[in-house]
Structure 1
Amino acid sequence: MPEHTPAPTPSRSVYGFVLYLSSYSALSVYLVWAFVPDNILHSIGLTYWPQKYWAVAIPIHLCVVLALFAFLIYPSINLIMTPPLHDVRTITDVHAININGKNVPPGGIPPVSDIPISEVCRHLYLDTK
């Protein structure tokens, strides 16, 4: 079974290099299409290119899609996945570590753990007088 690790491997380096070359190639083709006049492109035999309007419209559309995702769709997905307030999963989950000072020597520092909601409410809302 292969180990999942972020360490560099030969296949990852090849994929990364190909992605690096293809992204710079795509950027150079885009810049040529956007800035070189059509008559020069037609004179060297490149006759079919989309309209220059799309050289500006495509990045603007991508920015709008990114903004919609970042400010509307992603927070909406997170709100949908959040359990309601009356659900037990809001208070604790299967990964909670509850030690409550067990096996701590007197004057010692307890290990990192989750604080039970009852203790939090006691400290926050009970009157200490």
Structure 2
Amino acid sequence: MEDHYSVSSPRRILSFSKRRRATVYFQDPNDKAAGFGVSGEHGLKTSEVYGFVGSITTIVATVIFLVWAYVPEPCLHSIGVFYYPNRYWALAIPTYAMVTVVLALAFYLGLNFLSTPPPTSLSTIFDEFSREPAESVPLTEGDDQPIEPISDISIDKINILMFKNVK
């Protein structure tokens, strides 16, 4: 026999079962023992409100822009809209915005190139945080090997490791 829907309590237990039994438990917001307070104690976060308002504003502004850019003038006059900016700006504003973004990225890239030292500079290899490896004292057979202090690997060791088999 199939058990259709059984609801014990809308707040505590909601059980749906057809052939297998699955149970979903909901916490009671008035239950202080569970560690959760009353829902009135936790309000909306300001970031949530700003995000919601920002998303709604973006959607409304996009719809207004598309109506202004694509709806013919007689349709706008029929709904009572007589004053609006020239349609030239429907293309000019997005174009100016895209050119501004591209120029800002190019300017940022250029500033990075100007502030980077040339490849032949020793400052690309050594700086104030470079550490030479400390001289290790050879230990006898029975002693444990200590962990070597953190240091940079010198460029000649790197070259030997990478290019020793290249002829």
| TM-score interval (norm. to shorter) | 0.5 to 0.7
Equivalent of 1:45 in 55, 66, 80? 80
Q: Residue 112 of structure 1: CA displacement?
A: 8.8
Aligned residues: CA RMSD? 3.9
Aligned CA distance change for structure 1 residues 128 and 60 (closer, same or farther; 3 Å): closer
Instruction: Summarize deviations over 1:54-90 as a string: whole Å, max 9, x none.
Output: 21222223223333333x2222021122134465542
Moved more, 28-37 or 39-48: 39-48
Larger strand percent: 2
Q: For residues 22-46 of structure 1, give each alpha carbon's deviation from its aligned partner in whole angstroms, at most 9, with x where no partner exists.
A: 1111101101101111222233332
Q: Does 1:73 align with 2:107?
A: yes
Percent identical = 36
* CA spacing shift, 1:121–1:40, aligned 2, 3 Å: same
Q: TM-score, normalised by structure 1?
A: 0.62
Q: Does 1:23 align with 2:61?
A: no
Structure 1 residues not aligned, in runs of 5+: 1-8
| Superposition TM-score, scaled by structure 2 size | 0.50
- Tell me which structure has the larger Cα radius of gyration: 2
User: What is aligned with 1:34?
Assistant: 69
Match of 2:49 in 1: 14
- Identify if the C-alpha distance between structure 1 residues 10 and 89 changes in structure 2 by more than 3 Å, giving closer, same or farther: farther
Please, which of 88, 91, 94 is the counterpart of residue 59 of structure 1? 94
Q: Match of 1:30, SS? A: helix
Aligned residues: 116
Matching residue's letter, 2:126:
T
Distance 1:10 1:98 in 2: 51
In 1, Cα distance between the equivalents of 2:101 and 2:60?
23
